[in-house]
Structures are given as structure tokens and as C-alpha cells.
Amino acid sequence: MFRKVFIANRGEIALRVIRSCKELGLNTVIGFSEADRDSLPVKLADEKICIGPAPASASYLNIPSVISAIEITGADAVHPGYGFLSENIPFVEICEASRIVFIGPSAENIRMMGDKSFAKKTAKSYKIPVIPGYEENVLKAALAHAKKIGFPVIIKASAGGGGRGMRRVNTIDEFHKLWTTCQEEAKASFGESALYLEKFLERPRHIEVQLLGDKRGNIMVFPERDCSIQRRHQKLIEESPSPFVGEKLRRRLCGYAYKLAKKIGYRSAGTIEFLVDSDGRPYFIEMNTRIQVEHPVTEIVSGIDLLKSQILISQGDRLGFTQKDIKIKGCAIECRINAEDPSRNFMPSPGRIEKLVLPGGPGIRVDTHIYEGYTIPSYYDSLIMKLISYGRTRAEAVERMQRAFDETVIGGIKTTIPLYKKIFEHPIFLSGRYSVKWLENFLESESAKVSAEAAKN
């Protein structure tokens, strides 16, 4: 059993890990940057240690600094949360060599699935369907394949994520320019410029399957999450179960996820992601070898604490449930609340929170690290809160989320709550008939309305 867990992250996920550790009776120590000195996770951890200046490159991504902090504080395990070092192979290898337990998968697991091009090849070798495309980082051959499978296509960074190093290409003439653009973005964001190519699917759904794998070779899969409400490939709303997925498709998706995780000997929490076309055909796109931002919706409908399970797996403990215990109970929806101004093209809105009123009542969960008087720094991701609603039906979960929006007050900064209010009133969202491109089309129509009103005045 661990004595002390080092938390190599910040924000709401750091606080979530602290809470899970406390419930398991584990001591915690958090490494923080100078910009996060007054953050709630730093206040609530048993110990704290500064790991560097505000920029992430000098603190949360500074491997020597993080490893030194772990050794100085005597922690015997490290939880990376998501982002930052959560899928960094050199960091995991150093932990393994230093006898520090990395609360996550092995370096080999991350290596197999971290490169999206290689992951697609692996999935294809196990007869799991993938989107037609080309996995080699060769421009001339990729263009030839694009002509073969037909435009539009999408260029993606092999080591990418979050929409960076990704572009839709509609014509042959655009291909060379956008390939170069993606290479530059990928190099700047991930330190690796390799790209791959896929056929662009019109109006797909983004569906993912959460899983847990333990050190005894057991793989358990959970009800799917629908992550199709996205802006620029960034997820904003997730729900479980998907209003699009029926029982037959659910069994198919879970079967593919189980098969891939079993074949690669996966352990820890992970998520296998699919695009599903309008005819219900699923295609593997990637595996995230970490806990996901949207994990709470799965926890709520399954009744299983994924963070605790992840820690127990790393300790080598048995999980207290089996696959038969994992069932869908009701519906859960998560909204990622960002410190951004939707009316100004989602401009970041860091600053001091002058007033804060959080929602509550039946079926509402709030995951956040903010408090009244806290200053949101400008150096990191703009996520400040996750609002999660639960209902016996999707309609009840929607109604409770709408109530939560009305109860929430965050003074001093701009947030994305006004946008969510509009989304949760829209007939397409309410019907569950949205696709990956729906939100961007909705935002374009809203922008056109504003421009028309301005022209009248």
C-alpha cells in the first residue's frame, strides 16, 4: 500500500485526486507552480512543494523538477491527472527506473497507443475497423491516398490531441499548405511533427468507451460516453449513455474496446474513442491512456469511483466489483465551464473571482478548484469547473442542468455558461440528434444573427 502520493497536476483534477487519496487513507503532497501557490488543491493537500515558475514548461512539464520534488518529499507514487505528464513516456520510464509507482499504465502501453498512427495500425491488426486513411508520415504518398479515398480528408498529428496539428482538407490545392501548417503546429505543441491522414466523415458522432484494466489481466468496460458537442475538436459537453447508441451498437463498441485493451495487456484507467457515422458504423480513432476530463458522467451512471479504482490498480489490489456489476443507471451530462468570453470568439478571461455561488440540489455535482477571491492565472487551460447533472431520464438530467446554470454566479470574469444556456434550449440538442459539427454550425448561425442585428442598428 502506498504511504504518500505525489500529485503532479493542478486545478480541479488535482483536487479530485486529493479527495480520492483521503478517502483511501493516503497522504498527499502536491507540486505547484508559483502561479498556483494560493490554489485550493495546494491548501488541501497534506504537503506542498513548489516545482517552478508559472509557465508549465518550467514547472508542471519540467521532469527533473517533478522527479526531484517526489524524491525530496518521500512520495512512493505519483498521480499525473490528465494533460501535462500523464502520457509522457520518458517521465513514466524515469519513474519506473526510480521505483516510483506511476499511477497509470506502463510506458509500453502508452508507447503503443500514444502514437495515433501506430495505434490505428494496431487496432486494424486486431480486425477493429478504422477510418480509411494513410498512417505513414510521407507527404507525397499521403496525397496519393487522399486522391484515392476522395476529399475531404483530415490531416492529424500522430502525437496530437485537443485539435492541434489537425486540419480538414477539401481540395488537392490545399493539401501541401495545410500539411506544412499541421507539421509546424504538431512540432510546437508536442515536440513531434509526424502526421497521418484520414477520410473526413460527414456528421459523425464521437463516442468513447471507458475501461479499467488490472494487473491480473482483467478488463472491465463501462457504458459509452457521447462527446459530440465540440468546438474546434475540443469537447464541451459529454453525456452517458449516448442518446444515439442502441444496445446492439453498445455491445459492438464495448466489444472492440475490450478486445484492444486485452490484446495490448492494458492496465489502469483508459478510454477508447470512436467516430460513428450516420449509419451506425463505428471506427476506432484513438486511445487515451489516462483518466479523462469527462470521467464523472461514467462514475455517476455506473456508481463506480474511477479515480479510486485507478489508484487501487496501481497498488496491485483487487477491484471490489466485476463486469456484471457495471450497469447503466439513469443519465448524466457534464458541461465544461471555461473562463472564456463566447461573445468575443472565446477569448480567455483570467482574473479575480469577486463573487461565487455554486449550484446544488438533487442530481447536481460540481467539480471545481475555484473559490471566492481566487485569481485564475493566465498561464494554463481555461477550464475552471465541471457541472454534472444526473437524472432518471435524459430529460430530467437536462432540466437539472438548466436549473444549475440559473443558480451559478461567477462574478469578476466571463464564462461559457451563457452559451450552454442556449445549447440546452435548442431543439437539436434536446432531441439528441446532434453530430460533431453541430455546435460549430450553431455558433456560425448565432454570429450571423449578431451581425444582422448590428447592421440594423
Query: Tell me, what CATH number does 161's domain have?
Result: 3.30.1490.20
Evaluate whether residue 329 is within a structural domain: yes
- Cβ neighbourhood burial of 108 (10 Å; 0-12, 13-18, 19+): middle
In a domain, 51, yes or no: yes
Per the domain annotation, does 71 fall within a domain? Answer: yes
Query: Is the same domain home to 218 and 193?
Result: no
C-alpha cell at 261: 485493451
Q: Examine residue 92 and state whether it is found in any structural domain, yes or no.
A: yes
Identify whether residues 189 and 210 lie together within a single domain: no
Write the CATH number for 221. Answer: 3.30.470.20
Distance CA 267, CA 48 (A): 29
What are the tens digits of pLDDT across the range 38-58? 999 999 999 999 999 999 999
In a domain, 246, yes or no: yes
Q: Tell me, what's the pLDDT at 278?
A: 87
Q: State the virtual CA torsion across 387, 393, 399, 402 in degrees, nearest 10.
A: 20
Q: Can you give the pLDDT at residue 76?
A: 95
Write down the pLDDT at residue 319: 83
Per-residue pLDDT tens digits for 22-35: 999 999 999 999 99
Confirm whether 429 is domain-assigned: yes
Q: Greatest CA separation found in the chain? A: 68
Q: In 172-243, which ranges are continuous DSSP H helix? A: 172-190
Confidence of residue 453 (pLDDT cuts 50, 70, 90): low
As a whole number, mean pLDDT of residues 414-423 equals 98
Nearest alpha-carbon partner for 346 in 416, 439, 448: 416
Assigned domain for 439 exists: yes
Confidence class for position 164, pLDDT limits 50, 70, 90: confident
Range of the domain at 362: 205-448
The model's pLDDT over 78-132, given as tens digits with 9 standing for 90+, comes to: 999 999 999 999 999 999 999 999 999 999 999 999 888 889 899 999 999 999 8
Q: For the residues 203-210, what does the mean pLDDT come to?
A: 96
- The C-alpha angle 100, 102, 105, rounded to 5 degrees, equals 145
DSSP code of 59?
Answer: T
Q: pLDDT category, 446, cuts 50, 70, 90?
A: confident
Per-residue confidence (pLDDT) for residue 448, from 0 to 100: 73
Domain finish residue from 184, 199, 214: 199
Catalytic option among 167, 225, 252, 290: 290
Whether 352 sits among the annotated catalytic residues: the reply is: no
Same domain membership, residue 280 and residue 377 = yes
C-alpha cell at 408: 451559478
